[in-house]
Amino acid sequence: MTEFQSLAGRQGRQFSDQCDLVLESEGFTLEGRVQLRDLGVEIDRVARTRDGRVIWFEFKGSFRGSTPGMRRTDTMKKAIANGALLAAIPDHPPYVVLTSHVPDRGSALAMLDTASRLGYFTDVICVNDPEAVRRLRGL
């Protein structure tokens, strides 16, 4: 394994841990991951709200590089593809993406706006933005 791959793996685990802490702090009960093999989609975290509703979370975060988190178009495309594939499941749980960075311009923002309009995401929340994190309470 190269140094870059090793660093990326550590960074991914750290971001996953951060997302779990955010979810727990907002009152979610964490469950495991789910692989929907028939769709080719993996849900990073299944969590339950205080009243027992299931929410599916995907984690997309990074802290290195000039284009972190969902500002990367390839990262955005993977989240969109997963959301589009989940549409094949009638009445699936809400699908929320937790990210380190949301796009604020360019192609990634255009993709996010379109995917949101099409209903591929229930929400996209930046875990580093306290105001955005508060939206978790409304799920």
**Between residues 23 and 4, which one has the greater pLDDT?**
23
Alpha-carbon distance values, 44 to 75, 86, 94 (Å): 14, 14, 13
Report pTM: 0.90
The domain segmentation of the chain, as residue ranges, is 3-138
Tens digit of each residue's pLDDT (9 = 90 or more) over 27-84: 999 999 999 999 999 999 999 999 999 999 999 987 766 777 899 999 999 999 999 9
Per-residue pLDDT for 1 more than 60?
Answer: no
Tens digit of each residue's pLDDT (9 = 90 or more) over 79-111: 999 999 999 999 999 999 999 999 999 999 999
Regarding beta strands 45-48 and 29-30, do their DSSP bridges make them parallel or antiparallel, or are they unpaired? Answer: antiparallel
**Interatomic CA distance for residues 86 and 82, integer angstroms:** 6
**Interatomic CA distance for residues 56 and 89, integer angstroms:** 13
Per-residue pLDDT for 11 more than 90?
Answer: no
Residues 116-135 have a mean pLDDT of 96
Best CATH choice for the domain 3-138 from the list 3.40.1350, 1.10.3470, 3.30.43, 1.10.760: 3.40.1350
The answer to whether 106 and 135 have CB atoms below 8 angstroms apart is no
| pLDDT score, position 62 | 76
Q: Residue 8's pLDDT band (boundaries 50, 70, 90)? A: low
